[in-house]
A and B are shown apart, each in its own frame.
Chain A
């Protein structure tokens, strides 16, 4: 097999060592609005690219950790940034596993890498993605659905959720946790259009 080590263009100036302190609310909001909606597309691309022990989940989780310590105010194309970061991580970890990709194998669609503010169509897709996640809440099984409704729609504390469901507070938390886990698993297995 011909070994070609692609010349990785360093699109990321600051790799950002993962932080152990949690980011503030504004930073989290940025991640929620700009990074999270791009995840299904990135996951789909990674699923076709990852060939080593590193999993897609590992790469995505590492990306989120790195975004925690980055100064995001200058990022105009978060989607492109996310893709480049994931690609660089994939190359790094693959080298550690002695896997070298052909340069063209890791081609990311060009429109994800342009340094432009996302278009209305991309913004629209972002909104659709968030709406899909909210609609899936309606399909959670009981009693997770009820627990989620009380927590997310009515913003009730857990002791009151527990009272309404007739369980302990710890159980109420478990139901919400279980609901969240199921939603995230559904999202992870969703193929973007």
Chain B
């Protein structure tokens, strides 16, 4: 057989499907690639199933090869060069392969740049373990970190590239922003927004600017002011919703940046839960009547005594303060 690859003296690796001399992991790689983008014929599929069933380590090796292979997936950033059919002269083929590699590297570079963050390249690890939101100024861009929030950020030619790990982060940028949250990417210029990432949902409150968002299966564009929520449904995949925000809504959403919470007919239980994030002396509701009551108003963070006093005045109840907490109960 004649091989038309760049180096005609290099044959492809030894044949499959079941090279018994190779290690278990090598066999797993072989089976994985045989299964990649194809359906095995019945006989080979039967061999594959037998191999899987033979030893639990075979399954483990296969899954290991699979996740390694999948982790090398990239999203294509540019269409590949057009393919020329077989049998051009050798010089043209070398040039074609070089072009292909350059296109591949360019594509790789475009995608790798935001991901190739190392500790030495100016990436900041932002973490707020205090009891109040923390304001940070990075290259004239403002970042507000809520309590128990962790994120990374760096600037590349005045553009902020941030990655929120958990919690709530407010961002106000003068130039461009590229924000990563789990497997979603948000981009925009001159943005003012809050991002909240919990273990089962992602929410973006967009106060100013236009935001494009991108997921593996969906894309979208949102204009301010709006509230975007993203949830993963096991059967339907990503569910994205957008709501308009009124001026009052914006004020309510942004209040946390100024160490405040604005409640509007909020249940007392929920209000206490929100304020308890910002104190080491939480307020507990020990009354069914109080738990079902609703409260409106503005309360400062880190002041549980004031909140407790206000509730007692409003709802005619008693407070039982200790060093560790404040319990609100009926009179």
Contact = CB atoms under 8 A, between A and B. Distances in A.
Nearest to B118: A128
Interface string B166-191: 10000000000000000000000000
B138 interface: no
A187 B67 CA distance: 13
A26 to B, nearest CB: 7
Interface in B95-138: 96-97, 100-101, 104-105, 107-108, 112, 115-119, 123, 125-127
Nearest to A178: B13
Interface residues of A, number: 72
A167 B52 CA distance: 30
Contact of A20 (B14, B25, B59, B116): B59
B5 A143 contact: yes
Contacts of B76: 153-155
A90 to B, nearest CB: 14
A145 to B, nearest CB: 7
Nearest to A173: B33
Contacts of B23: 57
Interface string B37-77: 11000000000010011001111111111111111111010
B63 A28 contact: yes
Contact of A18 (B29, B60, B86): B60
A166 B5 contact: yes
Contacts of A145: 101
B71 A133 contact: yes
Interface residues of B, number: 78
B319 interface: no
A65 B49 CA distance: 15
Interface in B5-28: 5-7, 10, 12-16, 23-26
Nearest to A177: B33
Nearest to B28: A61
A121 interface: yes
Contacts of B205: none
Nearest to B61: A61
Given A20-B59, A143-B6, A149 B104 contact: yes
B152 interface: yes
A156 interface: yes
A134 B215 CA distance: 20
Contacts of A45: none
Contact of A120 (B70, B151, B234): B151
Given A60-B60, A142-B7, A149 B100 contact: yes
DSSP majority for the A interface? helix
Interface centre among A135, A143, A145, A183 (most CB of B within 10 A): A143
A155 B79 CA distance: 10
Contacts of A149: 100-101, 104, 108
Given A35-B67, A134-B72, A176-B33, A164 B100 contact: yes
Contact of B36 (A142, A148, A173): A173
Contacts of B4: 165-167
A138 interface: yes
B255 interface: no
B13 A175 contact: yes
A124 B58 CA distance: 31
Nearest to B54: A20
A35 B66 CA distance: 13
Given A155-B73, A155-B76, 19 more contacts: A22-B63, A28-B66, A58-B57, A61-B58, A61-B60, A62-B56, A64-B59, A64-B60, A65-B60, A130-B71, A133-B68, A133-B72, A135-B112, A138-B105, A150-B104, A153-B108, A170-B15, A174-B16, A184-B65
